[in-house]
Chain A
Amino acid sequence: MKSLAELAAIREKALKEISLRQSNDGYKIIVGMATCGIAAGARPVMNSFVEELKKRNLTNATVSMTGCVGVCRLEPMVEVIAPDGEKTTYVKMSPEMVEKIVVEHIVNGKPVKEYTIGNADN
């Protein structure tokens, strides 16, 4: 170890790996992964979130799963809970939609209205 900068670089890198275990005050991305969600393609959606966060070095969000919320026809559903507790529910998700949500919602704090439950063609 030659310098503090070298140590800091290792720290930065390792921190990303374990940030998941610290109490996370950032965004919570919760993917519905009950049978209905999985059948509708929730797993690739969830993986895309993990990939996208990794690609952009984002540590202010965690991805976790939940069971069926009961509106199975709108699956795959994803709920994003902002640090202030504000909830946004995205419906009929596909991996292609993930990038936009990450960029606009997780990075810039603006929910992507057109993907939310309010806009779902009922």
Chain B
Amino acid sequence: MQIYRSHILVCGGTGCTASKSLEIISELESHINANSLQNEVKVVKTGCFGLCEKGPILVIYPEGATYVTVAPSDVKEIVEEHLVKGRIVKRLLPKDAKLAEVVTSLDKVDFFARQMRIALRNCGVINPEVIDEYIACDGYKALGKVLTEMKPADVIAEIKKSGLRGRGGGGFPTGVKWELASKPVADQKYVCCNADEGDPGAFMDRSVLEGDPHSVIEAMAIAGYAIGASQGYIYIRAEYPIAVERLQIAIKQAKEYGLLGKNIFDSDFSFDLELRLGAGAFVCGEETALMTSIEGKRGEPRPRPPFPANEGLWRKPTVLNNVETYANIPSIINNGADWFASIGTEKSKGTKVFAIGGKINNTGLVEIPMGTTLREVVYDIGGGIPNGKKFKAAQTGGPSGGCIPAQLIDTPIDYDTLIQLGSMMGSGGLIVMDEDNCMVDIAKFFLEFTVDESCGKCPPCRIGTKRMYEILERITEGKGEESDIEKLEILAKNIKASALCGLGQTAPNPILSTLKYFRDEYDAHIKDKKCPAGVCKSLLKFVIDADKCKGCSLCQRKCPTNAISGEIKKPYVIDQDKCIKCGACMDACKFKAIEKKA
């Protein structure tokens, strides 16, 4: 074994890989060799650090210096300055580093200081492709403990006591789910992992699998022991190639070490694991559709009961949990249910990972204790709204969820409060919206998604969501009628009551919640034919202010449809019939003479 004086951790998550982190690694290796440092310095490719906005990220230990937005061309300087001469390259440190002189370590950046990492404990810390590094961080210790010291019923009791609830959306208590599946007597049972992650904008599960695949494998084996299953399946979308590859490597290494396979830890327990790749249909994240897809059939849901705990995959008792749910399990076993239950709120224990996106400074991945307020997430961790704009609302729960408006920004985030507000926790996508977002347009966006993703098996979802979408389309085009709101409400109620699966049952939520909090915006579209946020194109007019226009003709030259005419040094005018409202003129004007009028 080689001991190095320095480790360089480079993020190899999907985001940073897309911004050239692999190129950075090869540059690092070549400069390290050029300076003959290869026996002193080790380069480690890790999973996501979470601060995707500032990627690619690189951390150098033992100093813990964090370099952000690193380009391959910065590598030479990093090697020659930091590694050869021990001088921190200050210009690459994160901007909000308050102490210019002191080396900025990751946990001192505001973004990280308020987080609490359980599910993401190893992401950005270990090399996910080396099982030994996972083991060094107490990996597989929980499985060892379970198999040598605990009975299946003890494991279930411990998980129940921890208060862990499913992180895939529904929030069902995990221990209870395991208990239900442990009861039936069957010749075969299954443990499945839901890594379909279909919510637009969500990437929590992908990051766990890319950064710490063994945590999910270990937890699935523990679940197998608890319910009496010897076979597991991870259902993962094929659009996650890095996660798929790391899982394959991890499963292979676990098998080599005998942590998967026969008689693990010399016990009677045997467990094997396989991957199943999904084609990326949203409905395949629904549990019955997912199992149908694993069976090799078209991924469509079926009515419940029977519930998977009794009749799941191949009609055998099955436990299905989400990736993040599993990632919490080893820590609960190692640190005890009481420890886990001490974090969070009364009915929502532990932490939740969120993928924050939209109008926010620090786009990325955060893990926070349940009960953290939305304000803390948006302003303290997320760094606030760009360009000094006002926070308007945050959407949680994706297409099944709803929005939380600005007046409720001090809401603590947990399962039950979000449901009360008409939204839901969902799997953890959190999209931040500012004053420039039109809420009717947002509702239309999510409806368009559900219309696209509806599998078509049941009419309420197949036809009903389409009708709702058409009404929204009409409203945003200025053709809405006053009775439309009532029609939406009736449709929403009926679809919720009659759709076959969660996809249809929750599809009306984005409409209902925007209606609840932003009724005035709907009214403005329908009655006044105006879009207050200036988003819905049919309701907009671009006009040139004759007092401010200097007659430079720049807008005329930029206009793609020749809708602008005029004479040099005299005010120009826009022909509204020709204008396609692309906004190119407004971007081009140096005198702010072009206005968007609602």
Residues of A within 8 A of B (CB): 1-4, 7, 10-11, 13-18, 20-21, 23-24, 28, 30-35, 38, 46-47, 49-50, 53-54, 62-67
B136 contacts A64, C-beta separation under 8 Å: no
1/0 per residue, CB under 8 A from A, across B50-91: the answer is: 000000000001111000000000000000000111110000
B258-266, B313-321, B413-421 - interface stretch: B258-266
A1-B264, A67-B87 are contacts. A50–B63 as well, Cβ < 8 Å?
no
A1–B140 CB distance below 8 A: yes
Instruction: Kindly provide the distance from the CB of A11 to the nearest chain B CB, expressed in whole angstroms.
Output: 5
Nearest chain-A residue to B256 (Cβ)?
A: A1
Q: How far is the CA of A62 from the CA of B136 in the complex (A)?
A: 18
Q: Which residues of B contact A18 (CB under 8 A)?
A: 7, 126, 133, 136-137
- Roughly how many angstroms separate A34 CA and B138 CA in the complex, as a whole number? 39
Q: Is B100 an interface residue (CB 8 A)?
A: no
Residues of B within 8 A of A1 (CB): 140, 144, 257-259, 264-265
5 interchain residue pairs of minimum CB distance: A65-B86, A62-B62, A14-B136, A14-B132, A54-B3
Question: Which residue on chain B has the smallest CB distance to residue A32?
Answer: B86
Q: List 14 A-B contacts (CB under 8 A).
A: A1-B140, A1-B264, A4-B145, A7-B140, A14-B135, A15-B136, A16-B3, A17-B1, A17-B3, A20-B5, A65-B83, A65-B85, A66-B87, A67-B85
Whether A7 contacts B136 in the complex (CB less than 8 A), given A1-B264, A1-B265, A16-B3, comes out as no
Number of A-B residue pairs, CB cutoff 8 Å, is 101
Q: If A7-B141, A13-B1 touch, does A2 touch B135 (CB 8 Å cutoff)? A: no
**In the complex, what distance in Å separates the CA atom of A1 from the CA atom of B133?**
16
B245 beta carbon closer than 8 Å to chain A = no
List of A residues within 8 angstroms of B140 by Cβ: 1, 7
B161 smallest CB distance to A (angstroms): 23
- Which of A14, A16, A62 has its CB near the most chain B CB atoms (within 10 A)? A14
Q: Contact between A47 and B40 (Cβ–Cβ < 8 Å)?
A: yes
CB–CB A33/B86 < 8 A: yes
What chain B residues lie within 8 Å of A35 (beta carbons)?
Answer: 85
Q: A50 touching B5 by the CB < 8 A rule?
A: yes
The reply to whether A64 and B5 form a contact with Cβ atoms under 8 Å apart is yes
Is B6 an interface residue when CB atoms closer than 8 A count as contact?
yes
Residue B125 interfacial (CB < 8 Å): yes
Which of the residues A3, A24, A33, A63 comes within 8 Å of B266, measured between beta carbons? A3
Closest to A34 in B: B85
CB distance from A35 to the nearest CB of B (A): 8
- Given A65-B85, A67-B87: A21 touches B61 (CB 8 Å cut-off): yes
In the complex, what residues of B have CB within 8 A of residue A16's CB?
1, 3
Hey, which chain B residues are within 8 Å of A20, CB to CB? 4-7, 61-62
Q: What's the least CB distance linking B100 to chain A, in Å?
A: 15
Cβ 8 A contact of A13, one of B132, B264, B266: B132
Q: Known contacts being A1-B257, A21-B61, A50-B40, is A66 close to B86, with CB within 8 Å? A: yes
Q: Which residue of B lies closest to A7 (CB)?
A: B144
Asked if B265 and A3 make an inter-chain contact with CB atoms under 8 angstroms apart, the answer reads yes
Q: Give the complex CA separation of A1 and B136 in angstroms.
A: 15
Which residues of A have CB within 8 Å of B133? Answer: 14, 17-18
Report the separation of the CA atoms of residues A25 and B239 in the bound assembly, to the nearest whole angstrom.
42
Chain B nearest CB, measured from A70 CB (Å): 14
Interchain nearest-CB distance for B233 vs A (Å): 22
Please name the residue on chain A nearest to B134 by beta carbon: A14
> What is the minimal beta-carbon distance from B3 to any residue of chain A, in angstroms?
4
